[in-house]
Structure 1
Amino acid sequence: MSSEQPTTRSGFVVLAGRPNVGKSTLTNAIVGAKVAIVSDKPQTTRRAIRGVRTTPAHQLILVDLPGVQRPRDVLTERMQGRVESELRDADAALMLVNAEQGIGPGDRFIAALLKRSPKPVVIAVNKIDRCGKAETAAVLHAADELDVAEAIFPISARAGRGVEALVDHLAGLLPEGPFYFPPDERSDQAEHVLLAELVREQVLRRTRQEVPHAVEVEVAEIDDADEGLIFVRAVAWVETDSQKGILIGRGGRMIRAIGTAARRELERELGTRVHLDLTVRVRKSWRTDERLLDRLGIE
């Protein structure tokens, strides 16, 4: 009787796409847990988030990258630098496009980046649940004309359509090797970063115009000294006093609504009661503050 261990595959797949094409939704759908916050605002994702999906045969580590764009400031320079670094180190790339919007200049810019890599590229055309058959077929044809992908999959990350077939194909691209993470681990994010992102998600859902892009959340303290209750102290950084006023709201209504919704998300994540102390502070031009960006973990 053979004593050989069954062969497993493991590796990293980067998920690249224009802002707001559904990368975080797809990451969560593949992983089967919420590891990336979801919003209808562009540039929701600011860090490269690794979601881990493990089966007995493979471990797929999906890196949800910030939306690829031309850098505008130190923040977006760091985000773009992380995109290019992760692409170099990955085993394969998954390019996500929006079926509703079709193929545009941003998609061609990303395809040109991916063409420079020797790694295999797969395209997923997302949000097909919002399009008719003819519209979907046209986008699939346009995606094929980018001439960058070895395979193209029509999917709906939100509804789960086509996701399993996509995962099976990606797993086949991974090299043979042992797993990088324990089988029950879903993400490599530090706890304080994940909790801060859950708070920021609620800010994104309730604010408009420039405010979502000007807000970053930092969890400064997590204290579980009281049995059955975790104390979380968080700071929402903004760039101007007017943004602070919007975030606090008349009579403190906005910050209370954000805090209440965020506390529920934290309790769901931590599995216990949470006391959330959320304050708003102003730091002008924080998006160009190298030291603060370092502290916030935006590489």
Structure 2
Amino acid sequence: MSDLAPHPPGGGPLPITRAGFVALAGRPNVGKSTLVNAIVGHKVAIVSDKPQTTRRAIRGVATTPECQLVLVDLPGVQRPRDALTTRMQRRVESELRDSDAALMIVNAEEGVGPGDRFIAQALAHAKVPVVIAVNKCDRLDKAGTLTALMDASTLEVGDDIFPISAKTGNGVLALTQHLRELVPLSPFFFPIEDNSDQSENVLLAELVREQVLRRTFQEVPHAVEVMIDDVEAVHEDLTRVRALVWVETESQKGILIGAQGKMIKAIGTAARKELQRELGTQVHLDLSVRVRRGWRGDDRLLDRLGIE
């Protein structure tokens, strides 16, 4: 039995615990990352209204004394178009095979569409229990919520449907309790103090990318990736972070830098606040924008960026 399971004071037998992996699937922008953060109680996945925000299978770890849920926020399920999206889709399929349950998230405002049916079909072959969460119900009245729930029932995957709002937290507790019942008896996979399996550098890079996504439009968000070049503890209360922002064209670089450097300054100011909140120190952030043409099709760079 793993040493990561909680030990009772004074020795004695280990308590009976549950632990398992829950894969979150859904169309881009249905609120998977917001829901992971809500269940974990800590920001482990960046949030944006842009498609393809999540590129890695981020694991959020939510632990109680009796149960540990490892939430795998999958990249948006989609048909592959290039090396990047091919890797993303391959990771989706791999994580589903290794999960104990799957949670499909549907956007209550938009209802069920072809993309949802494509995902439901993939989940139907995953051979794990499937739960549906109808998210963003806070934006609908009771009649609209009922319609969204009935629409979700037509997906014919899974037996349980929960109306929730990941943003406000409504319905999240009931959903989480149900997920805990689906995972097997098991020792914990992660130390109880962990809330993610991401390395510090990956999380810091994602926090910087989040601020880029919030301030850019059209093709730029999809063409941007961030890599942390160096993290240096200057002293107890100050950390220096050097980050490289990759784009594919000189015009995208110009957009990110902005007139008289205003855009990159705004991104850096907002990102620094997020890094300070995460690291618990003051942060000096150095941002450099570099052009790497066709990086989304460059397997070697994708390896360096940790996109499996």
Q: Structure 2 CA distance, aligned partners of 1:294 and 1:4?
A: 43
Is 1:124 paired with 2:142? no
* Residue 138 of structure 2 is aligned to residue 138 of structure 1: no
- Alpha-carbon distance between aligned partners in 1 of 2:145 and 2:77, rounded to the nearest angstrom: 23
Distance 2:230 2:168 in 1: 36
What SS does the aligned partner of 1:175 have?
A: coil
Deviation, structure 1 residue 4: 4.3
2:268 corresponds in structure 1 to 259
State the SS of the aligned residue for 2:235.
coil
C-alpha distance in 2, partners of 1:198/1:133? 36
Query: Shift of the alpha carbon at 1:138?
Result: 1.5
User: Displacement, 1:258?
Assistant: 0.4
The SS at the match of 1:40 is coil
Corresponding residue for residue 173 of structure 1:
182
Deviation (angstroms), 1:121: 0.2
1:227-259 CA-partner distances (Å, limit 9, x unpaired): 321111001000000000000000000000100
Instruction: Provide the residue aligned with 1:26 in structure 2.
Output: 35
Q: TM-score normalized by structure 2? A: 0.95
Q: Which amino acid letter does the alignment assign opposite residue 296 of structure 2?
A: R
Task: Tell me, in whole angstroms, the C-alpha distance in 2 between the residues paired with 1:237 and 1:118.
Answer: 39
Output the CA distance in 2 between the equivalents of 1:268 and 1:6: 34
- Report the Cα distance in structure 2 between the residues aligned to 1:5 and 1:294, rounded to whole angstroms: 40
Distance in 2, matches of 1:116 and 1:71, equals 19
- The answer to whether the 8 A contact 2:40-2:61 is kept is yes
* 2:290 paired residue number: 281
Return 5+ residue gaps in structure 2 as ranges: 1-11
- Return the alpha-carbon distance in structure 2 between the equivalents of residues 245 and 4 of structure 1: 62
Letter in 1 for 2:205: A
Q: Deviation per CA, 1:53-91, whole angstroms, max 9, x where unpaired?
A: 000110000000111111111100000000000000000
Separation of aligned partners in 1, 2:95 and 2:80 = 17
Per the TM alignment, residue 129 of structure 1 is displaced from its structure 2 partner at its CA by: 0.4
Q: Find the residue that maps to 1:61 and give its secondary structure.
A: strand
Q: 1:186 aligns with which of 185, 195, 199?
A: 195
Alignment of 1:48 onto 2:57: yes
- Distance, in Å, in 1 between the alignment partners of 2:133 and 2:237 is 43
Percent identity, aligned pairs only, is 71
Contact 2:232 2:240 in 1 (8 A): yes
Q: Which runs of 5+ in 1 are unaligned?
A: none
CA distance in 1: counterparts of 2:55 and 2:161, whole angstroms: 26
Equivalent AA in structure 1 for residue 184 of structure 2:
P
Structure 1 moving runs of 4+ over 6 Å: none
Q: Distance in 1 between matches of 2:208 and 2:282?
A: 15
Q: Deviations over 1:161-207 (max 9, x none)?
A: 00000000000000001001111110000000000000000000111
Q: Higher mean Cα deviation, 142-151 or 209-218?
A: 142-151
- Tell me what 1:109 maps to: 118
1:257-289 residue CA offsets vs partner (Å, 9 max, x unmatched)? 100110111011000011100010000010000
51-60 or 224-233: bigger deviation = 224-233
SS at match of 1:77: helix
Q: Is the 8 A contact 2:236 2:281 kept in 1?
A: no
TM-score, normalization by structure 1 = 0.98
**C-alpha displacement of 1:226:** 2.9
Cα distance in 1 between the residues matched to 2:169 and 2:267: 29
Q: Deviation at 1:150? A: 1.9
Give distance in 1, aligned partners of 2:235 and 2:194: 26
Does 2:171 correspond to 1:159?
no
Match of 1:64 in 2: 73
Distance 1:10 1:150 in 2: 21
- CA RMSD of superposed structures (Å): 0.8
Structure 1 counterpart SS, 2:245 = strand
2 CA distance for matches of 1:22 and 1:227?
Answer: 36
CA distance in 2, matches of 1:267, 1:187: 18
Aligned residues: 297
- Three-state SS of the structure 2 residue aligned to 1:94 is strand
In the alignment, structure 1 residue 270 sits paired with structure 2 residue 285: no
Q: 1:41 Cα deviation (Å)?
A: 0.8
- For the residues of structure 1 that align with 2:126 and 2:62, how far apart are their CA atoms? 24
Deviations 1:77-121 (A, max 9, x none): 000000000000000000000000000000000000001121000
Q: Deviations over 1:3-22 (max 9, x none)?
A: 54331100000000000000
